[in-house]
């Protein structure tokens, strides 16, 4: 049998028709008010991605000293931007460029995550290679890995520039256009002070009494999505390992056919040609698996998107928990005020024991305490109302962005899986063609 609890934030819109008295009771219970319809997003044609070409054109290995004056090796990435409007007018817009380190990309994303907690902020590509098959280097300075990360960083910038809210951020625009003083500009926003601690978030997760069912389900979905994609990437890595071995073993056919051709007169040319086809087939796996890494990186992006989804859910839990604590504090103060006014104590308390031991307070003392409590109650009611409105705005904005993200995810993963299937079909056709060519070589012997 379910216990009677306050309705969770984001409950059914028809509940908004309840009278003001019922709404006030719901506020005191510590539940966020139902969300209104999401506000209209910025039009796509107004996004920065439509007004500016953004590329991360190259990566460069550098050596320098860090903040601890210790020499280190790192990779810098060249960001190039060009205005689109001047090109449409027939003018050749100049290309502006600047260099950024991966750590600066991290700083930008941290700023966006804290400043826009209701948004599923696009993730960065991995800092170190994961889910790799054994022939692929896991070194973060490996040229192939750096190239894939360059593509991932460009994709991150394009995701942000295409977002209807994030694209308008001045700090993001400065990241693309202002090399000197950008870090100072970010730190001046004080976003670090607004960041919620992990301990506080964990505390809210376990102590919130009235969670929103939709956000709870979304959090569970993000966990499942991360688990499924992780397993998919592991399977893909194992398949790549075995596929690499199968292809390379075909090179042994080439060697044996070549050796055999040396001792045959009539059959020699046919065996030599067949061996050549086998050598080409064996060598083709390197390009195939390099192309596969591109699709693996697309899956990894949504592996990291799962954490971005959870971040939005954790923020909602924190806001709900703060609201419930504010409602609980307000209820406690109202009870204290009532006890002082009536002279009765409903529950066991230190105050009640003190009164019995040392006598009752004078009327003047009670009046003074009641006055203080009434001021605190008024302040608490205003604070609760403010938190309720803030929570309702968060739910409205967050859910609008979550719906946008769902559409993007469904489209991207569908395209990635179809492209991967097409690549596998093409690979199989190449195998068939190799053995068809070998058959023709054997037929001519």
| Average pLDDT of adjacent 10-residue blocks, the chain of 445 residues | 40 42 46 42 72 93 77 90 72 86 95 95 87 60 86 96 95 93 92 75 73 91 95 90 88 91 90 92 87 88 94 90 87 85 62 53 80 87 90 94 96 93 91 93 89
Determine the pLDDT at residue 363: 78
Number of neighbours of residue 164 by Cβ within 10 angstroms:
17
d(CA 316, CA 222) in angstroms, rounded, equals 15
Q: In the chain, what is the straight-line distance between the N-terminal and C-terminal CA atoms, in Å? A: 83
Number of neighbours of residue 61 by Cβ within 10 angstroms: 11
Please, are residues 10 and 393 in contact by the beta-carbon 8 Å criterion?
no
Angle (nearest 5°) at CA 278 between 273 and 283: 125
Q: Under CATH, which number does the domain 196-343+368-444 receive?
A: 1.20.1270.60
| Whole-number Å distance between alpha carbons of 185 and 32 | 35
pTM for the model? 0.80
Contact 123, 304 (CB under 8 A): yes
Tokens 């301990």 appear where? Answer: 199
Length of the chain: 445
Query: 382 CB contacts (<8 Å, ≥6 apart)?
Result: none
The Cα 206–Cα 203 span in angstroms is 6
pLDDT score recorded for residue 132 = 64
Contact (CB, 8 A) for 52 and 161: yes
Q: What pLDDT is recorded for position 197?
A: 67
pLDDT at 357: 46
Return d(Cα 270, Cα 277) in angstroms, integer. Answer: 11
Contact (Cβ atoms closer than 8 angstroms) between residue 320 and residue 32: yes
User: What pLDDT, on a 0 to 100 scale, did the predictor assign at position 27?
Assistant: 44
């Amino acid at each position: 049998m379910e216990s009677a609890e306050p309705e969770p934030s984001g409950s059914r819109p028809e509940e908004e028709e309840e009278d003001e008295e019922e709404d006030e009771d719901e506020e005191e219970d510590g539940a966020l008010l139902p969300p209104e319809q999401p506000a209209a997003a910025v039009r796509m044609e107004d996004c920065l991605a439509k007004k500016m070409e953004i590329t991360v054109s190259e990566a460069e290995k550098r050596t320098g000293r860090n903040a601890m004056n210790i020499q280190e090796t790192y990779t810098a990435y060249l960001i190039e931007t060009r205005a689109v409007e001047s090109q449409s007018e027939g003018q050749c817009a100049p290309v502006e460029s600047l260099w950024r380190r991966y750590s600066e990309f991290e700083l930008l994303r941290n700023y966006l995550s804290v400043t826009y907690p209701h948004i599923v902020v696009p993730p960065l590509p991995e800092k170190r290679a994961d889910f790799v098959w054994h022939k692929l280097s896991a070194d973060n300075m490996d040229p192939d890995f750096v190239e894939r990360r360059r593509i991932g960083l460009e994709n991150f910038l394009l995701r942000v520039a295409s977002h209807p809210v994030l694209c308008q951020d001045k700090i993001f625009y400065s990241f693309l256009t202002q090399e000197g003083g950008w870090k100072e500009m970010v730190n001046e926003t004080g976003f670090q002070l607004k960041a919620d601690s992990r301990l506080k978030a964990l505390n809210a997760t376990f102590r919130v009494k009235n969670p929103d069912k939709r956000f709870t389900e979304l959090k569970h979905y993000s966990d499942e999505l991360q688990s499924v994609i992780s397993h998919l990437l592991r399977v893909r890595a194992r398949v790549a390992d075995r596929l690499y071995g199968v292809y390379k073993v075909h090179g042994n056919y080439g060697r044996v056919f070549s050796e055999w051709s040396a001792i045959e007169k009539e059959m020699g040319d046919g065996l030599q040609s067949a061996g050549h086809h086998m050598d080409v087939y064996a060598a083709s796996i390197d390009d195939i698996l390099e192309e596969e890494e591109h699709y693996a990186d697309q899956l990894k992006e949504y592996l990291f998107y799962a954490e971005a989804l959870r971040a939005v859910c954790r923020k909602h839990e924190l806001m709900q928990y703060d609201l419930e604590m504010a409602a609980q504090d307000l209820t406690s103060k109202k009870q204290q005020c009532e006890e002082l006014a009536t002279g009765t104590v409903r529950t066991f308390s230190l105050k009640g024991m003190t009164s019995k031991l040392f006598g009752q307070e004078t009327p003047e003392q009670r009046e003074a305490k009641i006055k203080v409590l009434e001021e605190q109650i008024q302040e608490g009611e205003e604070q609760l109302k403010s938190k309720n409105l803030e929570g309702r705005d968060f739910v409205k904005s967050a859910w609008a962005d979550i719906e946008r993200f769902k559409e993007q995810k469904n489209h991207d993963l569908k395209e990635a899986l179809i492209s991967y299937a097409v690549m596998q079909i093409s690979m199989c056709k190449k195998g068939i063609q190799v053995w068809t060519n070998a058959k023709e070589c054997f037929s001519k012997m």
